[in-house]
Chains A and B, each alone.
Chain A
Amino acid sequence: MDYFLQQALNALSLGGEYALLALGLAIVFSVMGLVNFAHGELITVGGYAMFLAVLIFGVKDPLLILPVGVLAAIFFAVLLERVAFRPVRAAPPTTGMLMAFGISIILQNSALIFVGTRPKAVPTAEWLMLDVNIGSLRMPVVQLLEAGVTIGAITLLVVFMRNTTIGIAMRAAAKDFSTVRLMGIRADRVVRTAFAISGLLAGLAAVFIMARRGAVDPFMGFTPVLKAFVAAVVGGFGSLPGAVIGGFALGIAEVTLQATLPSSVAGFRDAFIFSAIAVLLLFRPQGILGERPDFGEKT
């Protein structure tokens, strides 16, 4: 039972990480139709910002570097929108996607050139590494926090999307951007907010990823975001609730396989999961919550 609860917490925190990232991808996609392959680099940028904060400004308190990571990710997301994605906003989706893909390669290799190939250590707050003991249960603080923060962020996001003008505008923009503009809402503001939120979510994920890894390297954003993409597709690409469900589903699947697979085939875990997803998509190509696009509609 204890073992089960511990694995459940593992699944919840890993799923939470995927959900945060998948949500960020889905928000940007739903508003402006951009498949942001550079999303992973927001994590990397958050990580490097934390590293630089320690190195240059000598921030000693590990608690203070956490917000640095989040803020850097938000700032960078908004910057990317302005510099890289605004020029291709009106272009076909493939153009934007490849643009993001190119940006991602550039950022990874810039980190290689200017910071170095080796992972850089970033100190983690000691209290994050502690365990909470409840009876015979041992629960790491990081995981509890990650699960909690994820759920909190998602709740806040729901409130934001339902109750603020800009949130409602973002949901409307997912259906029909021109009408949103006819209602007198600035397109730039909607898009910028979408990017800022995706940056915030990626920054939160970055903080927890850093706490677990303790180091930053140029390619650290790639794998989590690939998983997030898969999660978003499973949930239904562009659907926000779908992204959350897909994220948690993927987290649960990974932890379950990790716990049950014999070690001789454990290396194949991702291959199993992706193949299972392929079969799922065979029967439900639009994902769990996705809507089948009207025939002939551009997707």
Chain B
Amino acid sequence: MTVKSSVLLGSAALGLLIALIGFSALLFAEPYHQRIVFIFMVNLIIVLGLQVFMGNCDITHFGHIGFMGIAAYAVAVLATPIAIKKTALATAPFGLSGIELPLFFAVPGAIAITLIVAFFVGLVMVRQTGVPATIATLAFLVVVHVVLLNWVDLTRGPRAFYGIPIKASLSTATAIAVVGVLIARMFRDSRWGVQLRASSEDAAAAAAVGVRMQRLRFAAWMLSALFLSVAGVLFALFVGTISPKSFYFELTFLTLAMLIIGGMHSVTGAVVGAIVVALGLEVTRFVENGPDIAGFELPQMFGLTGFYLGAVIVFGMAFRSEGIVGPQEIEEWWGSRQQGKQSDAGSSEAPNP
């Protein structure tokens, strides 16, 4: 497969930005802030995975966090030391309470389990279009949550699953995020990605030139699930304690808002959105806890972060529905600006039929 130089250039620019954030945190930040940056990297990987599916297929995806939950619990069950399982997970089915895999096997195992689930869900998903497809992804998220919550023998149910070996580091997460950008870009600008985007704009025309939409959608679905499973594994191996509510609507809203506000049709949009929303989120969290500002004690306001995410989405949709960045990638900004200067008319977009 040949990779276009423009893709490499754009990925390099975004990758540099991410690496800069990661390494400056590693060098200068305190552990607490490093933790925030780690979570940001995980969220970024989630948003990239979401972009792979949503941006190329134009189907809103509410179920992505379900895959993350499956992967996180899978790696937790596989890798948690037997000593801890004896007290925490004594009644696990399939003899899992007596198993402790090294990460070298547990991580690929967890990813494989997630991808198998994604495979079967994907078979149903690709046959749906438009709104029913979106509702189906939402139903998937609920199913995963219900199972995590009720399969107490395997997941400890609503109680926290603790004792997961803490092995992930900020540098790993940063590296994966950088690679993730490259993969998402390569997919978007590959033959498949272009065909997929074409088919989401006009299914009939795309089919007429031989694009197999369902197959391509399936590919995007699986690649997206791969991103999410990696994010889930990273998350579990960093925080060490997980519970079903870590993988439910809160994270779904947050990552969706990130993608939408940045612009879901480009990888650049995903990265920019993740950064912008994360910055705003930290400010909102600060205010939510009722800090003292210049002598005034602000009241605690539970729900302010949720309010902020909702407002981000609403204003994004009302005033800039293509997101901050829009459908163009970072290297195309530069290119289109140059073009705009050369041709005064500047109508680089195709006229609407």
Contacts and interface: CB of A to CB of B under 8 A. Distances in A.
Interface residues of A, number: 54
Given A271-B147, A299-B131, 15 more contacts: A35-B131, A88-B321, A101-B256, A102-B311, A105-B313, A108-B306, A109-B307, A109-B310, A237-B135, A265-B150, A270-B146, A281-B127, A282-B123, A282-B127, A287-B132
Contacts of A226: 138-139, 142
Contacts of A265: 150
Interface stretch (B36-44, B73-81, B162-170, B199-207): B199-207
Contacts of A99: 313-314, 317-318
Among A93, A97, A285, A298, the one with the most B-chain Cβ atoms within 10 Å of its Cβ is A285
Contact of A275 (B123, B128, B143, B310): B143
A236 to B, nearest CB: 9
Determine the main DSSP class of A at the interface with B. helix
A45 interface: no
A299 B204 CA distance: 13
The 8 closest A-B pairs by CB, nearest first: A296-B204, A112-B303, A102-B313, A105-B310, A267-B150, A106-B310, A299-B130, A109-B306
A268 B306 CA distance: 28
A69 to B, nearest CB: 23
Contacts of B312: 102
Contact of B310 (A104, A274, A277): A104
Contact of A91 (B121, B136, B256, B321): B321
Contacts of B321: 88, 91-92, 95
B18 interface: no
A97 B131 contact: yes
Contacts of B127: 281-282, 285
A93 B314 contact: no
B132 A35 contact: no
Contact of B124 (A108, A232, A281): A281
Counting chain B residues whose Cβ lies within 8 A of the other chain, the interface size class is 35 or more
A267 B29 CA distance: 44
B111 interface: no
B149 interface: yes
B310 A293 contact: no
A103 interface: yes
Nearest to A266: B150
B195 interface: no
